[in-house]
Amino acid sequence: MDKTISVVPVNNAEPNLDDSMRLISEGLPVRRIKHKKPQGASLLKVRDGRLYYETANKFNSCTNRFKNVDLAGILDIRNGYGTDSLHKASKKYKFQCAAPENLCFSVVFTHPLFMHKSADFVAQSEEEKLEWIKAFQQVLSVKKKEKLQFDEKAWLISNFHKADKNKNGRVSFDELWKLLKKLNLQISEDYARVMFREVDASRNGAPGDNTLDQNEFLTLFERLTDRPELRHALRLANEHGMETLNAEQLLKFLSEEQKFTDLDTKKVTGIIDMYETSEQAKEQDKLLGANGFRRLLQSRWGNIMKSGHESIYQNMDHPLSYYFINSSHNTYLTGLQLKGEATVEGYISALKKGARLLELDIFDGEHGEPCITHKRTLITSITLRNALIAIDKYSFVTSPYPVILTIENHVGLVQQKVMADIFQEVLGDKLYLREEGSATKPLPSPNQLKRKFLLRGKKLPSSAPRDDKFDQEDDEHSPEHHKKKIELDPEYSRLISLPSVKLSSNIYLDIKQHPMDGSPSLSESKVPSYVDGGSAIFAYTATRLVKSYPKGIRQDSSNMHPMLSWICGIQVVAMNMQTAGEELDLVNGMFRVNGNCGYVLKPQILLDGHGTLSYQDLLNRVFRSANPGSFRQSEDYNAYRRY
């Protein structure tokens, strides 16, 4: 039985927000699905910004207990068998009878111990379920808009009330210290205690009562977040060296330093009203003080990105190889590489973050259908079909540009035929097929490939002269002595549009012999040697799509540094997107430009294939050039530079 992750089919009439709030507050009768079985009757409802549902008390069968999830942490609502747990449960006919797909839905949310977690439910009526989900989605949409308009004061007051455990309107130092650690303020306990005492005694100069009320807490937070460097910037922006800015001074700062246009004194006065919370400063000729200046720089007005680069501004009509591409490694994992689960959540999360290249490690599966897992580990598998259904649904939500699926093919000939059928059945006409003559032509452009999937992997050579250079060895991640020739099904091979090739010791010969749409992969450990080898790698990446990936010893899913690969012109730098750190921060920063569409135009020096400069010179020219990546002297690649 085919299973789908479907969009909730609701009528087009938008319900009134108050009606929606009332409906979700009254609740929806459901049964929670746990351990592949529907549990007892429960009620799913929203109260005080949290989603509540009853769950059976495993210690006392006569009583139930409530679990709850903050609405701000809810990521998705999926209709049908839309999560890994429901995929697995639905393999049993008995479960399908007890929890029909049209009555099932899931709430996916963030969890402190996991990347994502889901609560799965079965409703009593499909009509009631769809009506409740539509109302819930409307409320969530409003909450997301409110989150974008961040109110620091309201956020602080909310955290104050959370820290006030005994609800007496005051917090002790112990309660405060727990909150400060939760908010990740990088200060010592001794310093926090000194500041606490100062604020506690500040109203009348007498010793305090060792607690802070709400206003005292707000004062303390302002003192703790005071930054001397921002005060210095204020003095520089004020011609008199004062630590305040009036409307005219702020207008000059935003126009000359931040490069904003279409501002006037009236608009800037409104900005001061928005970010300066001190009534005294507001009354004194509309002045922006240090704390207001900090809030301003944390908003869009302090954005380091050049104005206009938060949307798609680059020319998207060049060949695919002209762009850096936001790419993921072992996309199906959400944790370590030795144990755990392969999951559709990894693909969904990567796509929502802007990834345009996903990795599928495909093996022979049970019941005659291929599955995705991590070889020679304890990672449990997911079916290829369910993974592709999720990929198809989420691929073009954040970006219309093509998604590349890198296939690590460990499937036998029999299931390769099944694999080919599944790709065509699920992706249909979105699957881009290699055109005749592709071996001698530049790759199509992102605009030409909008809403298309390209399969990248091993391919059988055709009669074309350059096609005999395809790489026919198994698995780019395997050690050299373990590699072997693989057998390919012709129908599956036909679907591959970016065939794997292998770089030799003579890259200039490879440039002449490799097909133009050929795509080699380089281990992280090999990239430095190609840089040291001279300009050949730069000439190759100027016209071919190349991927680099983390070396095999990174079993903890840590990431390689992307910079050296980018400097070589390598377009596809595959990252473990579930692992935070400086390396992933650099990638996120790189792809925030150009509308976070997953494609960023390479600078001209790399498109020209020049590589005779030193490493430092390349750094300077690639990332500090006045207008790299420019074809008409108008496309400013360096979105992070304002001067």
Active site residues: 329, 374
Which two three-digit tokens encode residue 417? 């035929």
Give the tokens for residue 90. 């639905």
| Cα(420)–Cα(555) distance, integer angstroms | 31
Q: Are 584 and 559 spatial neighbours (Cβ–Cβ below 8 Å)?
A: yes
Nearest by Cα to 67 from 23, 20, 30: 30
Cα 236 to Cα 131, 231, 233, 258, distances in angstroms: 57, 9, 5, 14
Give the residue from 386, 378, 394, 339 showing the smallest Cα distance to 360: 386
Burial 299-333 (b: 16+ CB within 10 A, else e): eebeeeebeebbebbbbbebbbbbbbbbbbbbbbb
Rounded Cα–Cα distance for residues 281 and 582 (Å): 38
For residues 33 and 586, give the distance between their C-alpha atoms in angstroms, rounded to a whole number: 40
Is 465 strand, coil or helix?
A: helix
Would you state the torsion angle of the CA atoms of residues 458, 611, 326, 299, taken in this order, to the nearest 10 degrees? 180
Count the alpha carbons within 13 Å of 282 in the hemisphere toward its beta carbon. 11
> Residue 498 pairs with which residues in a beta bridge?
456
Q: Which of 365, 409, 372 is nearest to 388 (CA)?
A: 372
Show Cβ contacts of residue 151 under 8 Å, excluding neighbours closer than 6 positions.
Answer: none
3-class secondary structure, 107: strand
In 3D, which of 336, 338, 331 has the Cα closest to residue 372?
Answer: 331
Residues whose CB falls within 8 Å of the CB of residue 181, separated by 6 or more in sequence, listed in order:
none
Residues 460 and 462: their CA atoms lie apart, in Å, by 6
Tell me the two tokens of residue 97.
């009878």
CB atoms within 10 A of CB 181: 12
**Residue whose tokens read 């495993």:** 58
Whether 626 contacts 542, CB under 8 Å:
no
Torsion of CA 44, 48, 50, 53, to 10 degrees: -30
Alpha helices in 578-638 (DSSP H): 582-592, 604-607, 615-624
Those residues whose C-beta lies under 8 Å from the C-beta of residue 188, and which sit 6 or more positions away, are: none
3-state secondary structure of 194: helix
How does strand 572-575 pair with strand 211-212? unpaired
CA–CA separation, 47 and 102 (whole Å): 26
Question: Kind of pairing, strands 171-172 and 114-123?
Answer: unpaired
Tokens at residue 149, please? Answer: 């308009």
